[in-house]
């Protein structure tokens, strides 16, 4: 019996040794996932341990819960400590990041909310709601042979070792702009970090707003979409370093986020977003409409609309009067969601 066990153990050991000496595919692990908020720009990075001959990917698959991709070719033989980059066509479109080794057949290969990525049936990475960053900058990571997920700035690395990042040009400032009749055009500042700026003016019959986003230098922009909140982008335009996004159907009492995708300044490329609180009547911009807003508006009745009191012209008609006071009163009790 002992002899049999020993014999079996030796045979098994022999088979293992023979397998690991042969070229294979099964020691790659999923170590990084990146997605922009729309799922257009996505990459999956695999990492190998100290193993050569893990190059036979052809015919194996990488899958999400909804999509599957079959590797059409193999990698070079010397795979030890290499990375393998698999990315969407949307990633390929933003030049400046390292070229992927494999291009997936579709954008939105995996869900931006929760999904399981399965590499060739030998390595999986599951993420649940809230785990995958979609801020355009960070990715979901884990070290080789570790199950601990962590968030870090995206760092795609391809087989050749080229590394970089999906990195959008950072906006310098953003505003919500309205024309106040004959009194002029006035902008509510939209801070890019910290608490959102609060737009307190009404959007008229169709709840229209206009967001201005400024960059340091001239940019090209692929698209502008609302990624959070109720409303939609009716049009957008770019003039040098200034992007104008026209919004419609933006309901009151919410925070909206506008995403500019594929922003390109010639050096940096990626997606960037700006958020805005919409709370009609919150003339002091503290996130709630109450008696303070009513008295502030009353105090400006009859005063010429200027840069210092335009928020009290809540209907943006160029005059501060009883109509504005009534509109603020009507909104008392509303507040932005925390």
* Binding site residues, Ca ion, CB under 5 A: 282, 284, 286, 293, 313, 315, 317, 324
Q: How far is the CB of 305 from Ca ion (least distance, A)?
A: 8
Residue 113: CA count within 13 A, CB half-sphere: 2
**C-beta closer to Ca ion: residue 87 or 319:** 319
**C-beta closer to Ca ion: residue 9 or 323:** 323
**C-beta closer to Ca ion: residue 164 or 287:** 287
**C-beta closer to Ca ion: residue 130 or 302:** 302
Q: How far is the CB of 180 from Ca ion (least distance, A)?
A: 8
**C-beta closer to Ca ion: residue 26 or 329:** 329
Residue 50 near residue 81, CB atoms below 8 Å: yes
Q: How far is the CB of 193 from Ca ion (least distance, A)?
A: 21
**C-beta closer to Ca ion: residue 136 or 203:** 203
Give the residue among 147, 131, 144, 143 at the shortest CA–CA distance from 34. 131
**C-beta closer to Ca ion: residue 261 or 317:** 317
**C-beta closer to Ca ion: residue 199 or 282:** 282
Q: How far is the CB of 317 from Ca ion (least distance, A)?
A: 4
Q: How far is the CB of 35 from Ca ion (least distance, A)?
A: 36
Q: How far is the CB of 184 from Ca ion (least distance, A)?
A: 13
The encoded tokens of residue 147 equal 């199950």
Q: How far is the CB of 148 from Ca ion (least distance, A)?
A: 43
User: CA 110 to CA 63: how far, in whole Å?
Assistant: 8
Q: How far is CA 10 from the centre of its chain?
A: 53
User: CA 333 to CA 335: how far, in whole Å?
Assistant: 7
Residue 226 near residue 257, CB atoms below 8 Å: yes
Give 157's contacts (C-beta < 8 A, 6+ positions apart): 45, 83, 85, 98, 163
- Tell me which DSSP letter residue 310 carries: G
Q: How far is the CB of 292 from Ca ion (least distance, A)?
A: 6
Residue positions counted in the chain: 338
**Strand 115-119 to 254-264 pairing:** unpaired
Gyration radius (Cα) of the chain, Å: 27
Count of beta carbons in the 10 Å neighbourhood of residue 227: 17
User: CA 203 to CA 245: how far, in whole Å?
Assistant: 14
């Amino acid at each position: 019996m002992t002899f049999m066990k020993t014999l079996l153990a030796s045979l098994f050991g022999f088979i293992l040794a023979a397998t690991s000496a042969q070229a294979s595919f099964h020691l790659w692990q999923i170590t990084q996932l990146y997605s922009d908020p729309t799922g257009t720009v996505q990459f999956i990075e695999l990492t190998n341990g100290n193993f050569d001959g893990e190059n036979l990917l052809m015919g194996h698959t990488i899958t999400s819960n909804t999509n599957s991709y079959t590797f059409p070719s193999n990698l070079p033989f010397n795979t030890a400590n290499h990375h393998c980059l698999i990315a969407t066509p949307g990633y390929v479109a933003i030049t400046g990041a390292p070229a992927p080794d494999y291009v997936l057949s579709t954008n939105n290969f995996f869900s931006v909310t929760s999904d399981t990525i399965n590499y060739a049936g030998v390595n999986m990475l599951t993420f649940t709601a809230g785990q995958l960053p979609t801020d355009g900058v960070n990715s979901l990571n884990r070290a080789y042979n570790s199950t601990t997920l962590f968030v870090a700035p995206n760092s795609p690395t391809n087989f050749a070792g080229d590394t970089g990042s999906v990195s959008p040009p950072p906006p310098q400032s953003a505003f919500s702009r309205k024309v106040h009749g004959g009194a002029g055009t006035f902008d509510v500042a939209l801070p890019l970090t910290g608490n959102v700026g609060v737009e307190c003016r009404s959007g008229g019959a169709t709840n229209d707003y206009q967001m201005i986003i400024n960059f340091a230098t001239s940019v090209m922009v692929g698209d502008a979409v609302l990624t959070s909140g109720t409303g939609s982008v009716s049009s957008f335009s770019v003039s040098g370093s200034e992007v104008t996004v026209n919004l419609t159907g933006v309901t009151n009492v919410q925070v909206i986020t506008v995403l500019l995708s594929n922003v390109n300044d010639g050096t940096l490329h990626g997606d960037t977003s700006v958020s805005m609180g919409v709370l009609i009547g919150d003339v002091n911009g503290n996130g709630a409409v109450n008696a303070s807003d009513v008295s502030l508006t009353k105090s400006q009745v009859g005063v010429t609309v200027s840069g210092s009191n335009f928020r009290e012209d809540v209907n943006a008609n160029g005059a501060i009067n009883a109509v504005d006071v009534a509109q603020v009163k009507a909104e008392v009790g509303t507040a932005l969601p925390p």
